[in-house]
A and B are shown apart, each in its own frame.
Chain A
């Protein structure tokens, strides 16, 4: 009978000790007070998985998006994954961002805040949003002071939000750097057709796990507005 085998006196003492240690480890895992921000991630759309280390947005990180023709669309596509999974998104200082394009990319509009602070209160507004929303899309037109930028980066790490920074450089350095290297529209002819999709090549780089160069081709936007894979 199984019960007889588990009686302590027929179990090898060393084995019993190992067993107990294993159980203790399980308990330790379960009661770990906190998970580090870097261990937690936000999901992204499947088309973007190849561009990011670990295939997801690491909480607390800064993603910088650059390049002519497609940087804004790429930023929206990055925000779409977490947004669809239930996160809130804040767009800071970009009142002209196309909301219809955001929706087509997959951003949930019911969980979207559009915040337009003056340059003088920009850092304060972003700091307030960090931790309250999971994804911040920023594109400051003014110069962000080094001190402010460092403080915001630290706050992001602590609170676990992701900042998608479009246009220009993030002074303390972005964790993930994505550049739209090449883009080409499909569907529009000379006097006929219409814009259908854009084939872009995105190069990825960054720090730490993101330092290994990556490159990926995708349709951004695809025919339905959301990013699509090539082919």
Chain B
């Protein structure tokens, strides 16, 4: 087994925070799907960690400024930083926004040693970053070890060739970033990469399958998967001409999606997946733009499409220095490093299944066509009103495959929530309505929650249906501590002689229809 390729990884800490444009000495957090994904050092010192819920983070640090994650922006701002390395190595690959890797053997020979290259990388990137954040550089055998070296760097860390397993041994098992696997391992008493690597490889494969084997190889200082020695033949490249040339991302994004699909299918037929893909673009003036993207694990079609879109966004909307002079006329995806596809075992009971896969794919496709807000999925929230208990969030912000949304049976009920059955239509914009008593006067509720008279008739526009049954008032007094969000309302269930059942709300002396059972 040959040693992995010697790699340099340059890492800008807290890139998602830097990309928001906020200074790092202020408490800032970036959240995705309600979880903190990155926090500024100032926020971290106050206890805001990755993985916290938004509310919990705010509880730890009240003045925390929260931004939603915008990966396209992260890539766009990272592109000039990566471009500054283009004359050190022609093949700079982006692992994710904020981290990039180069194969260092060639540059090292040319510039005279790993250390020289590392310093050069640091100074080049530092110039572009202009003090927004610092750069850490790690050099080791293989991208996994190099990335960990960059994390341990201050500001440069070189791990000698052949000393990788000693370097990795004391690391916590969590650095594998496989939560399910490391959770089991920790419970088995395997806490460091060294003790994991000491387990016999065949036993790990037998117990944890292909994923466990990959993790074991990483922990032992090897490549996760032995590379497929086949060089991808040229005709595996997928390309599309764009006519007329596109200068806006949304026009190219659709092409990106179909190219990613095509690449995925082509590789699938050959029984391989790719871990690195080159995104190539040609402008109408003949400029060639190339960027390599690597992914831990395998690049799925959705992941490729995202990266293509981000990259094109980075080129088209980047700084004036790197922006191409014309629109993009051709986009190509070149699968670069291939590994045999081990396939994913689809779960028999729940979990990921093929129907999930199909639905997730159509959701992504429709989102590309109709916009992110056009395809939503429910998410559980808390609240006493029908529209609060379940909220709709864009489907792109959650993982649709193998999702579970079961309610917590132990969760206490919300005081003041309405009893089942719930209304089938919850009006987004409540409809104004008048409620009259038998004498034709408006019905009111006083400060003690007492009705002025029995409701007798609804006045909806021109119609005046008689009320045949009703119950209420059910008062709620919400957020009384918050002057902006304070709401005080009384709710009623009302059936009229046309057979319709409605939920009415009396707020500030006005009646509204807020929901309907139809």
Contacts and interface: CB of A to CB of B under 8 A. Distances in A.
Interface string A103-119: 11000111111111110
Interface residues of B, number: 51
A112 B406 CA distance: 13
B492 to A, nearest CB: 10
A65 B408 CA distance: 33
Interface in B352-375: 353, 355-356, 358-359, 361-363, 365-366, 369-370, 373-375
A152 to B, nearest CB: 15
B501 A195 contact: yes
Query: In the complex, which of the residues A101, A197, A221 has the most CB atoms of chain B within 10 Å of its own CB atom?
Result: A101
Contacts of A101: 386, 421-424, 517
SS of B interface (majority): mixed
B378 interface: yes
A195 B421 contact: yes
A118 B375 CA distance: 12
B422 A98 contact: yes
A190 to B, nearest CB: 6
B146 to A, nearest CB: 38
A183 B501 CA distance: 11
Query: In the complex, which of the residues B425, B428, B500 has the most CB atoms of chain A within 10 Å of its own CB atom?
Result: B425
B469 interface: yes
A97 interface: yes
Interface in A203-231: 221-225
Contacts of B428: 95-96
Contacts of A22: none
A110 B370 contact: no
Contact of B376 (A114, A131, A189): A114
A88 B363 CA distance: 11
A89 to B, nearest CB: 9
13 contacts: A69-B518, A88-B355, A97-B426, A99-B390, A99-B392, A100-B422, A113-B377, A115-B376, A128-B366, A129-B366, A191-B470, A194-B493, A195-B493
Given A100-B389, A111-B356, A124-B369, 12 more contacts: A69-B518, A99-B386, A99-B389, A99-B426, A101-B517, A112-B377, A113-B363, A116-B374, A128-B365, A131-B358, A188-B469, A195-B419
Interface of B: 353, 355-356, 358-359, 361-363, 365-366, 369-370, 373-378, 386, 389-390, 392, 395, 403-406, 419-428, 454, 468-471, 493, 495, 498-501, 515, 517-518
Shortest 8 CB-CB contacts between residues of A and residues of B: A132-B362, A221-B421, A100-B422, A99-B390, A110-B405, A88-B359, A72-B424, A188-B469
